[in-house]
Amino acid sequence: MADLRSAFLNVYSQLKSELLQDPSFEFTDDSRQWVDRMLDYNVPGGKLNRGLSVIDSYRLLKEGKELTQDEIFLASALGWCIEWLQAYFLVLDDIMDNSHTRRGQPCWFRVPKVGLIAVNDGVLLRNHIGRILKNHFRGKPYYVDLLDLFNEVEFQTASGQMIDLITTLEGEKDLSKYSLSKHRRIVQFKTAYYSFYLPVACALVMAGENLDNHVDVKNILVDMGIYFQVQDDYLDCFGNPETIGKIGTDIEDFKCSWLVVKALEICNEEQKKVLYENYGKPDPVNVAKVKALYNELNLKGVFEEYESSSYEKLVSSIDAHPSKAVQAVLKSFLAKIYKRQK
């Protein structure tokens, strides 16, 4: 794994140096240095799960055939396109959410002298994806399918982010708008498509598959993405900030979190009142009251129950898939996230 990771990081260095020499722009030393630092700060710092899983998935689809250097490079380049997409979303997301830390360091826009230049940096990150695809896939028969896939998923993600943002509008904070179906819709579009479907879709396209024939795979991966986000919502409140690399603020931010939706579902009138009065307030006293209520409702137990029933459902959907290679891809994804702590 460490081997795979370091090979993957070498591809990052190559892609970065191509972007810093892009013939379509006349770089100055200052601008090249800016982009260099911006990329190193935002792109390779995460767990790299999404990117690495393109290579993983492609390898499993090839059913044990030894991959050529070229195949490994191309699968890695697609993996990095997803990491670039992620960086683009996170840089802008952190500004919108007014966040402080990301991956255990200050958000990019909080770095001295960056500020709102980070908005343009986000736009640049998005544009780098098209440059990488053009540099390495332009001659491939599936080039247009890749462009289409990235455009589609970016649109779905931005639209999911929009539902999330308008649901948490200042001055219109209304918990009665929150439900499991609203939570599911936000998560499906905002997270599941780009984090779960996209890496496998990239591998399928590279393997010469037509994505229209794999709607069932998309559906399983979306369900997996929803399960992943419920874990994320849980960890935001109950996880260790040292382990997850960020301090959760879902309660303060009035987020449509699975925890609050579940709490609303199972609480009595008295408890509902506590939620309505304290949820979405920045004061630590209010946050503590919400957390105390979550404990009173045993949301840890409710989550553990959700975790095992989701897992069982996913396993049986995967087992029903006709292709053993596709099953292997889906199972490797599920194994990575089941009972995770970060």
Q: pLDDT of 93-105, one tens digit each?
A: 999 988 888 888 9
Per-residue pLDDT tens digits for 243-259 = 777 778 899 988 899 99
Dist. CA 153–CA 157, nearest whole Å:
6
- Say which DSSP state 175 is in: G
Minimal CA–CA distance to 73: which of 165, 118, 10, 167?
A: 10
Dist. CA 297–CA 161, nearest whole Å:
29
pLDDT at position 100: 87
Query: What are 273's two structure tokens?
Result: 């009142």
**Hey, how many other C-beta atoms are within 10 angstroms of the C-beta on 304?**
13
As a dihedral over the C-alpha atoms of residue 288, residue 262, residue 100, residue 108, rounded to 10 degrees, the angle is: 170
pLDDT at position 5: 84
pLDDT at position 1: 58
pLDDT at position 46: 84
Residues of the chain below pLDDT 50: none
pLDDT at position 169: 75
CA 200, 205, 206: angle at the middle one, nearest 5? 95
pLDDT at position 225: 95
37-42 long-range contacts, Cβ below 8 Å, gap at least 24?
Answer: 38/108, 38/121, 38/124, 39/125, 40/16, 41/105, 41/108, 41/111, 42/87, 42/90, 42/91, 42/108, 42/121, 42/125
pLDDT at position 6: 87
